[in-house]
């Protein structure tokens, strides 16, 4: 093949590849825009405001909740007062983990509502291996002095509480049932005047409203005696 034809062929291949990459970029941008608009629309239907991106201070503040990283990014932020009266903040949090040879993005959707300032409580879902091992060694019993009938919850979830006595009072059987209702929930956090559900998934817009409803359900299951302020000193 003459040299001129080879050059033309190479240029043609480069042009085709470039056009393909541009098409992919345009499609990705369109999908991202559609996703943002859908999330914003969901928020507006609930009377919530929308922010495309949280700033560094926002990300740093929410990094108090593990496993959120202060080096990550927060996007698609929804915030405001729900029709139920709860003050909600919800957002998509992502950060990149690099092993040196490869990298992957860790994704969480966060749904949080304001609470009184209670002692810290973490409720984390156990992995399949951890549940298997607990069953093997006969460790299926409450981690704290849990309410009667809580063995099933303790098998699937681990409770790490700053004040176990307070956690036992707050996490009644009804509350635990509500906490366990979210299939994609990786963990719940009660700290710093917030109750937050972390979902380790890239959630579709249509799943937002049901999971906002989930935090409302948990709040509704919590006893009224805990909702008026500092409940740690109450009988």
* pLDDT tens for each residue of 183-220: 889 999 999 899 999 998 888 899 999 999 999 999 99
Nearest to 62 by CA among 51, 53, 73: 73
Predicted TM-score of the model (pTM): 0.77
Task: Note whether residue 232 is domain-resident.
Answer: no
Give the C-alpha separation, 159 to 117, whole Å.
Answer: 18
Same domain, 38 and 141: no
pLDDT for 204 equals 87
pLDDT for 53 equals 92
pLDDT for 19 equals 59
Task: Note whether residue 235 is domain-resident.
Answer: no
- Residue 106 vs residues 5, 71, 101, 161, 177: alpha-carbon distances, Å: 47, 12, 16, 25, 27
pLDDT for 102 equals 78
Same domain, 73 and 188: yes
Same domain, 186 and 71: yes
pLDDT for 9 equals 63
Same domain, 80 and 32: no
Same domain, 88 and 185: yes
pLDDT for 137 equals 46
Same domain, 11 and 30: yes
Same domain, 17 and 64: no
Task: Note whether residue 169 is domain-resident.
Answer: yes
Task: Note whether residue 125 is domain-resident.
Answer: yes
pLDDT tens, position by position, 120-148: 999 999 864 444 444 444 555 555 554 54
Same domain, 74 and 184: yes
Give the C-alpha separation, 140 to 158, whole Å.
Answer: 11
pLDDT tens, position by position, 48-62: 999 999 999 999 999
Which residues form the domain of 156? Answer: 50-226
pLDDT for 155 equals 80
- Asked whether the predicted pLDDT for residue 223 surpasses 90, the reply is yes
The mean predicted confidence, pLDDT, of the chain is 81
pLDDT tens, position by position, 15-32: 665 655 555 655 545 556
Same domain, 105 and 141: yes
Q: How many domains would you assign to the chain?
A: 2
């Amino acid at each position: 093949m003459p040299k001129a034809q080879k050059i033309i062929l190479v240029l043609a291949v480069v042009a085709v590849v470039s056009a393909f990459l541009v098409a992919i970029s345009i499609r990705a941008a369109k999908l991202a825009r559609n996703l943002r608009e859908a999330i914003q629309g969901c928020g507006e239907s609930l009377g919530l405001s929308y922010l495309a991106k949280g700033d560094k201070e926002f990300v740093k503040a929410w990094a108090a909740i593990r496993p959120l990283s202060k080096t990550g990014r927060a996007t698609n932020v929804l915030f405001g007062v729900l029709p139920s009266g709860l003050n909600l903040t919800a957002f998509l949090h992502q950060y990149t983990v690099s092993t040196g040879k490869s990298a992957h993005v860790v994704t969480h959707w966060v749904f949080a509502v304001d609470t009184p300032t209670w002692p810290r409580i973490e409720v984390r879902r156990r992995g399949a291996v951890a549940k298997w091992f607990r069953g093997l060694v006969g460790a299926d019993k409450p981690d704290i002095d849990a309410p009667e009938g809580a063995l099933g919850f303790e098998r699937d979830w681990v409770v790490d509480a700053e004040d176990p006595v307070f956690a036992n009072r707050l996490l009644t059987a009804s509350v635990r049932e509500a906490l366990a209702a979210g299939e994609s929930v990786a963990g719940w956090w009660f700290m710093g005047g917030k109750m937050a559900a972390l979902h380790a998934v890239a959630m579709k817009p249509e799943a937002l409203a049901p999971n906002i409803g989930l935090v409302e359900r948990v709040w509704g299951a919590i006893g009224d005696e805990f909702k008026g302020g500092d409940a740690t000193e109450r009988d």
